[in-house]
Structure 1
Amino acid sequence: MAEPLVYHLHDIVEMKKPHACGSNAWEITRVGADIKLTCTNCGRGIMMPRFDFNKRLKKVLKSADRAD
C-alpha cells in the first residue's frame, strides 16, 4: 500500500498545468479538507478539494519543514 502524501503549510508545489500567468509553482496557504494555494508569481489564490489537489499535483518543489 502506498503511503499517503503529507502536505504542510508554506510548501511550494508544482501542478500539472501552469497558471495563466505562466508559472506553475504554488504555495500552500491552507491545509484541511480543502487546500488553498497562492501563485508564487502573481499572488492569485485558489481553493480546491484535497481529492482534486492530489490528482493535479505533479511534485513538491520545496518542503517547508526542510531548511534549505
Structure 2
Amino acid sequence: MPVLKLYVGDVVQTRKTHPCGSDRWKVERLGADVGIRCQGCGRYVLMDRVKFERRIRRFVSRPPEAASG
C-alpha cells in the first residue's frame, strides 16, 4: 500500500464526523503517528498514520509548498 503524501497544514475531510459535528481536521504533526486538530472545537488527536489515511474522504486545502512539490 503506497504512503499518502501528507503535509503539515493540510485540511482534510473525514468519513465520520467528530462528536462536535465537524468533519474537517488540520494536520499538525507527521510521522508514524499523525497529529490532527478538529476545526470545529479545537480538540487535538494523535492517530496512527494508516488508520488516519483510511479515514480521509478528501483534501479540503493544502499548504502552498504541497502544490509546488
- Give the TM-score taking structure 2 as reference length: 0.85
Distance 2:2 2:34 in 1: 19
Distance 1:53 1:4 in 2: 11
* Structure 1 position 48 matched with structure 2 position 37: no
Match of 1:7 in 2: 6
Query: Where does structure 1 differ by over 3 angstroms across 4 or more consecutive aligned residues?
Result: none
List gaps (5 residues or longer) in structure 2: none
Q: How many residues align?
A: 65
- Give the TM-score taking structure 1 as reference length: 0.87
Distance 2:32 2:2 in 1: 18
* Structure showing the higher helix proportion among its residues: 2
